[in-house]
A = this chain, B = another copy of it.
Amino acid sequence: MNNSLKVAMVVIGDEILNGRTTDLNANWLAKFLFKEGMLLTSTHFIRDHEVEIMNTLNRALDQADIVITSGGIGPTLDDMTKKCLAKMFGKTISENPAIIPVIEENYRRFGRTWNPGLNFYHHFPEDFLAINNPKGLAPGLGYYLADRKKLILSGPGVPREFHEMVSNEFFSLIQNYFSGRFVKNYQTIVRTHSVPEEKIFGELEPELWSKLEKFGKVSSLPHTIGIDIIISYNGSEENHQLTQQKIKEIFEQSKMHEFVWQYGNLSLSEMILKKATEKKITFGFAESCTGGLTSSKFTDLSGSSVCFMGTIVSYDNSIKEKFLAVKSDTLKTFGAVSEQTVKEMCEGGKKALNVDICVAITGIAGPTGGSVEKPVGTVYFGVHSKHGTHTETTVAPGDRTRKKDRFSDRALLLLLEEIQKF
């Protein structure tokens, strides 16, 4: 049914399996292949070990149309990939004058001169393609198994070299050998908040999953503030537009309607930036237990300075009083983690920062500091704008950093909802 080109990836190198190096190629390749309409069927991380390499490559070739490897194509003789590939296909490795221009060109790009005493790049398995390395020195290797219609491509482990070689050199070879096999993958993503997965597909909308399955493969991904529901399918751009519309209608007619915060794939911060820019709204935060995380998350976005003015991180009560005009009496009577305090924080914060909206957060991130009435995880949110003041409270699970993560995402969701009132 699924005619997509199948790709298997093999990452070769001891340094990844002992945790010393974090692989940055596998996830990148997954995204690249998805975008180009290919299907990554498996990724294997294996050691610099001849038998394991050959066994894994053989199995990968059985299962996929294309096998891509990263790592082990360096200058020394103990780099294993070249040796194993030659052995697998019964090829000898010898000096190959035909590929020297590729190596010389790679060196020239770095302003250096290659000579045969430097390394073993020019020792190559017979009948293999030497592949240009636009960001590095070691040439990649390519071999097409004409009888089985399969292609194996080996690139470097260094991420920037691998990404560049795959995007250009490997992708051209794939298009060349497998023209006519490209199927475009599409996804419709519905982002929801405040309802757990089992409640969405249980109590609220027991028929929803099967309704969505008519369009393609359904999956759900939990996030800090809710569940993303993803429907994946092949087809044309036209069909995709139609499918998106139909899925939107299903949700709009369901009980989930009020819990959808986006039909699409933007992050909370991206949505906020988009809406706040459109409506020319400025905002800031008054953060206590989140310690600046909410502001930091939003400022991960380039362009955030258009609408984000600043934040008072009022960890100590003295800062709450001095900068946010929280009354000493309020803190004494109700405590720093209370509805009364958060109300004064967002109202004082709006005035102090001179913004259209201020969102305040105060809570107990733990693991200490809880009490019977206010257990660890208790948090109060306050939002103030010309539309008034909204407060809410909840108790969140998870460890300290997980709580900060949830609190700050919830604060961003409240900000987004407030922006939509303008």
Contact = CB atoms under 8 A, between A and B. Distances in A.
A305 B316 contact: yes
B40 A17 contact: yes
Nearest to A74: B197
A202 B306 CA distance: 46
A202 B118 contact: yes
A300 B400 contact: yes
A295 interface: yes
B315 A313 contact: no
Interface string A295-319: 1101110111100111111111011
A304 B76 CA distance: 39
A44 B44 contact: yes
A252 interface: no
A30 interface: yes
A198 interface: yes
Given A219-B15, A291-B296, A296-B293, A314 B318 contact: no
Contacts of A21: 221
If over half of A's interface residues share one DSSP class (helix, strand or loop), that class is named, otherwise mixed; here it is mixed
A323 interface: yes
A300 to B, nearest CB: 5
A331 to B, nearest CB: 14
Interface residues of A, number: 95
A358 to B, nearest CB: 13
A404 interface: yes
Interface of A: 14-23, 26-27, 30-34, 40-47, 52, 56, 59, 63, 75-76, 109-111, 118-119, 135, 158, 160, 185, 197-198, 201-202, 217, 219, 221-222, 230, 232, 285, 287, 289-296, 298-300, 302-305, 308-316, 318-319, 322-323, 352-354, 365-368, 395, 397-402, 404
25 contacts: A17-B40, A18-B185, A20-B221, A22-B27, A109-B397, A110-B397, A111-B397, A118-B202, A119-B198, A135-B398, A135-B399, A291-B300, A292-B295, A292-B296, A292-B299, A300-B400, A300-B401, A302-B368, A302-B400, A305-B316, A308-B316, A309-B318, A310-B313, A310-B315, A311-B311
